[in-house]
Structure 1
Amino acid sequence: MAGNTSAPGASVTSRVLAILGSFDAEHRSLTLSELARRSGLPLPTVHRLAAELVSGGALVRRGSGEYVVGRRMWDLGLLAPVQADLRQVASPFLHDIYAATLATVHLGVRDGAEVLYVDRLSGHASVPVVSQIGSRLPLHATGVGKVLLAYAPDAVREQVLGNLTRFTSYTITQPGRLVAELRQVQRLGYAQTHEEMSLGACSVAVPIRSADGRVVAALGIVVASLRRDRPRLIAALQVAAQGIGRSLSAERR
């Protein structure tokens, strides 16, 4: 929530940002009164600015009267270097993995205490997943999220460990157990989940590193079971991640 943006002197820009900032993964669709409450702005102000945002394509007003983020915001987001460059470079590698497995392939970056899905490939034969391009999910319950959490700053890890939400009976909600698993991710070079975000979906993921060794993204795949193909999937992901890392470094020279 944006805070006291209704205070005298608040700029139009800060008010617009407060309205847009009212949306998150748990609040994708909001009524006018909900927008006012979450943004901290007066209802008449929200009504006026929301109408302008709808006119400009930043918001969409559904027939029910609820507002959702418009396509224009997504198009602008794709221009951010971390997403545009990464998606463009990684795309061929994602397509190669998908063609070989027909499983859902994820490309994610850390956005605060969540994983932001920059790209995703899936088909009719893929295991159903809850992720979408542009969506955010918890770091502790997803394969790409665990990779990113393992290499996140201490403050981020502490924030996540203090709020381990349970999504299925298999979600890890014990801080000590998760810390041990994150250490294993750093030691082995990959993370895995077993039905921790949604039932019937297991995942494995690996880090993508920049030229200086920093983890800048994670590449993962979702399957029904990891019992038989885990070594093969890890090897394929690691080769792809190395290729993406090298390509990113070459692009930025």
Structure 2
Amino acid sequence: MPSASPLLLVTPVYLAGPGDPFTVTFPLDTAPGWTRTETADVLRYTSPCGRATVAHEPAAGPRSWTVRGYLAPDGEPFWAARFGPGTPAEITTAFTTPLIDGLRSNHRDYLEGGPQYRPGSPASLLAERGWWPNPNSPSGFHDQIAPDGRAYYRHRVGYQPPQAELDGQVPASWAMIGGSPHRPLWQADFTIGVPFYLLTRSAVALAVHPARRLRTDIPRANRPHVTTGRAAPAAFALSAEEPPTPASAPNSTTAGGPRRR
């Protein structure tokens, strides 16, 4: 009998496909004090302090997640992060995992002087990894483009009312886009007020994390543009730090297109 298809480490993560929802739900299901409620309309996790929720609402699209932050339990949302359909689960989890930990200290552990603080903005960290500014960014936005030209990090320039962002009436302050802004494979949006360390951790995941996939999980159109390596059982540990090295030499072609700096 033929052996089962091996798990692969796939880079870049933004072309790897959405992945397994378990990657998102497992840290939430096992986080102390977080409660899970499920109806036909929504799967929701609520933090022990009541100041954050992580929800999958099927009406918003398959495998989409919305994270909301509150100043007080049962209050109105103060900020939101929306991970649209198709967003790689590793990017969503790079946001929710430090949120779980950060709420224990009211985010202080992740601010300057805290034990989990990491210097650098999302834009500077991406620039260090070869993401380059788009001279043709649309009016009102500043875009950085991945080295292979197949993902964007977008910052909206100028003030918009925070409530209008939360209601989706205006573009969010920041966005991560797989593919192109005109034909996105997926998009994640972050409103003003999102704790900056969460945005930074997601940006690092966007730039450097591999994804663990079966080859059949990788969208067919993306396969010529990714690099894969065999994933050993302990080779992948999700965090927002630098990724592991694949367990073996790559076994597929590398991403096509020019590498621009």
Query: TM above 0.5, one fold?
Result: no
Greater length-normalized contact order (CA 8 Å, ≥ 6 residues apart): 2
Tell me which protein shows more strand as a share of its residues: 2
What TM-score do the two structures reach when normalised by structure 1?
0.25
Tell me which protein shows more helix as a share of its residues: 1
Rg (Cα) greater in structure? 1
